[in-house]
Structure 1
């Protein structure tokens, strides 16, 4: 089962590189993704250390940073709202 998972992962990585370089995307998308990633982490840090809402602390982990990277600043507000209502 582990061998099958490694095979699927290898094939998907190979196809991802094929698609990225076939369409002449190069590495420009990597800098854009890095910028979004840094801004997502800064947004979460701003909420955590601003002191406006003392009970809300959004953990800095791959799931929260990924959500904010994809959704932008509304993602920070979404995580803050989830934290306040659920916990």
Structure 2
């Protein structure tokens, strides 16, 4: 039952997102901006991992961490560093 509700919410939100993108005439320009943010997020995490500043600290490159850094920018990298230091 819960899985069906979750799938319904996912489908409805996806359709509404697509409608919003095409009704507002955003076009495809937002995709290049998002792609740039995505690449810079992965690059920021990569620099932190291999810079050697904190040798025992490693942030994995996965969709969750890259998504957080994509949305938050440089403070997202600092947030992940803080979480890694305090939780693990």
Aligned residues: 87
1:41 aligns with 2:23: no
**Partner of residue 65, structure 1:** 66
Please provide the CA RMSD for this pair.
1.5
Taking structure 1 as reference, are residues 75 and 5 closer, same or farther at Cα in structure 2, changes over 3 Å only? closer
For the residues of structure 1 that align with 2:6 and 2:64, how far apart are their CA atoms? 22
What is the CA distance between 1:86 and its match in structure 2?
2.0
CA distance in 2, matches of 1:12, 1:84: 35
Q: Given the two structures, how large is their TM-score scaled by the length of structure 1?
A: 0.87
Instruction: Report the TM-score when normalising by structure 2.
Output: 0.86
Segments of 5+ residues of structure 1 without an aligned counterpart are: none
